Amino acid sequence: MTVSVGDTIPEATLTRMTSEGPRPVNTKEFFEGRTVALFAVPGAFTPTCSAKHLPGFVEKADDLKGKGVDEIACVSVNDTFVMDAWGKSADVGEKITMLADGNGDFAEALGLTMDGSGFGMGKRSQRYSMIVKDGRVAELNLEQPGDFRVSSAEHMLQQISG
């Protein structure tokens, strides 16, 4: 079953790189009591993800936070070392929290997986963005395969600007 607007974010464990090394991130705790702009990509360092998706959120981070977003997070079915390296290469700094869904458990719990086997990528997350308010999905922008439109930072900014 695919997550929908109004649903509670499923509990799962993601991983985040810290100065002390990889640390678990419980999704219930991460999303509780605040507004998070979450976007998911099929893979770190992949063309659309690196050229458009991540840079768009870096560029619009201050605008999104100015509209009430407490945190912006990027999640992908990659390990935490890859997500950390990708974040550094894209110069995300403190603007974007890079979260690893190493085994795809979070993507699966959301019902938002895709089969990237044809590209040698295995099970991955679909491309999407969402606004999560106090642990509940307030907006969900799911891309059609091969598209990049509704999950962009620009689209999300328009949604929350009304």
Q: Catalytic positions, please?
A: 49
Beta bridge partners of 136: 8, 133
Contact criterion met (CB below 8 Å) for 88 and 2:
no
Name every residue whose Cβ is closer than 8 Å to that of residue 32 and which is 6 or more positions away in sequence.
Answer: 134, 135
> H or E segment at 74?
strand 71-76
DSSP for 89-103 reads HTT-TTTSEEEE-TT
Tokens read off for 19: 């100065």
Name the H helices within the chain: 27-31, 47-48, 54-66, 80-89, 105-110, 153-161
